[in-house]
Amino acid sequence: MPKLHWNYIYKFAAMNVIYYFITLLFASLLLLGCKSTGNSNESISAEEKLMWSRATKKNTEYHYLAYGDQFPNGSYMDEAEERFDSLDLGTIDRETLLSRRFTGYINRSGDKQVLSLRFEVIDEREDAMYFRAMVNLGALGRVLNGTIDPTDNTIQFIEINDGTRLMISDGKIYARADKTILESIDLDQYWVLD
């Protein structure tokens, strides 16, 4: 039986150790490569979860826009875009709008004020609904004219520059089964009336 040299045994053992570490390295890389790229629920911040919960509960353009503005690479961004694109605004009913006063609030730069609106006249035409409404903002009351686009439920207020202006941004009307909601679509000026 031939006599083995210690050099050969050391080389053989060293090669096995190297092969073992290379195999371990490739297995580790393979496992890391297979790890899910999606965010797990634990990695989503409490603030993002709260904002997403609010957006899905309210289910309005403003809240999906606000979520996207706050979290442009958020965990729910794809779903937010899908929900935004498929929002059911409902069909605007002239009689429902004329039958009641809408109340809520407007938030301007952190200053929250009571806002109310009562439609006085709504003239339905082929391209839009033209209205006149009494709008109260805190102690200030004004009659405003405006339009409602029935194709996308956008409401716009038109003010003539003849004194103090209310400067209410554009919004959307949501005709839901249980109630009608008017809400801002401007991220810089939030208002909601129901």
28's tokens: 């580790």
The reported pLDDT for the residue numbered 87 is: 95
Predicted pLDDT at 159: 86
Q: What are phi and psi of 52, to 5 degrees?
A: -70, -40
Q: How far apart are the first and last CA of the chain?
A: 98
Number of compact structural domains in the chain? 3
How are beta strands 171-175 and 154-158 bridged, if at all? antiparallel
Examine the domain organization and report whether 80 and 159 are in the same domain: no
Q: What is the pLDDT, as a whole number, of residue 37? A: 45
Same domain (yes/no): 31, 107:
no
- Of 24, 51, 85, the last residue of a domain is 85
Same-domain pairing of 31 and 48: no
Which amino acid is it at 32? L
Helix (H) or strand (E) holding 166: none
> Kindly report the CA angle at 23 between 17 and 28, in degrees rounded to 5?
125
| Same domain, residue pair 30 and 46 | no
List residues bridging with 114 in a β-sheet. Answer: 105
Q: What is the pLDDT of residue 182?
A: 97
| Predicted pLDDT of residue 138 | 86
Residues 189 and 120 in one domain: yes
Per-residue pLDDT of the chain (194 residues; tens, 9 = 90+): 455 555 555 565 666 667 666 776 666 665 555 444 445 566 899 999 999 999 999 999 999 999 999 999 999 999 999 999 999 999 999 999 999 999 999 987 778 999 999 999 999 999 999 999 999 998 888 999 999 999 999 999 998 766 777 889 999 999 998 899 999 999 999 999 99
Closest by CA position to 133, among listed 148, 124, 122, 149: 122
Mean pLDDT of the chain: 86
Answer yes or no: are the C-beta atoms of 132 and 145 closer than 8 Å: yes
Residues 75 and 102 in one domain: no
Q: Are residues 98 and 162 in the same domain?
A: yes
**Residue 78 sits in the same domain as residue 134:** no
Same domain, 107 and 173: yes
Q: What would you report as the CA-atom Rg of the chain, rounded to the nearest whole angstrom?
A: 30
How confident is the model at residue 90, as a pLDDT?
Answer: 94
Beta bridge partners of 146: 131, 157
Q: Which residues is 145 bridged to in the sheet?
A: 132, 158
Contact (CB, 8 A) for 105 and 125? no
21 is in which domain, residue-wise?
1-35
The predicted pLDDT at position 23 comes to 72
DSSP codes, 92-159:
--HHHHHTSEEEEEEEETTEEEEEEEEEEEEEE-SS-EEEEEEEEETTEEEEEEEEEETTTTEEEEE-
- Does 73 lie in the same domain as 153? no
Residues 124 and 48 in one domain: no
Q: Same domain, yes or no, for 56 and 76?
A: yes
DSSP H helices, 1-60, are 6-34, 46-58
Cβ(183)–Cβ(191) below 8 Å:
yes
